[in-house]
Amino acid sequence: MVYGWVMAQGTGSNLISLAPADLIRFGGNYPPATLAGGWWRLSTYMLLHGGLWHIGFNLLALNMVGPMTRRSTGAAACC
- The per-residue pLDDT for 75 is 67
Q: Is pLDDT of 79 > 70?
A: no
Mean pLDDT of the 19-32 span: 90
Could you tell me if residue 60 is inside a domain?
Answer: yes
Is 21 part of any domain? yes
If one counts the domains in the chain, the total is: 1
Residue 42 lies in a domain: yes
Q: What is the pTM of this model?
A: 0.67
Chain segment 41-62, per-residue pLDDT in tens:
999 888 888 888 888 999 999 9
In a domain, 59, yes or no: yes
> Has residue 52 been placed in a domain?
yes
At residue 49, the pLDDT reads: 84
Q: Answer whether residue 78 is part of any domain.
A: no
Give me the domain span that covers residue 29: 2-73
Q: What pLDDT is recorded for position 53? A: 87
Q: Is the residue at 55 inside a domain?
A: yes
Query: What pLDDT is stored for residue 63 in this prediction?
Result: 95
> For 2-11, which contacts have Cβ atoms below 8 Å and span 24 or more sequence positions?
2/26, 2/47, 2/48, 2/49, 3/48, 3/49, 3/55, 6/48
Q: Report yes or no on 19 lying in a domain.
A: yes
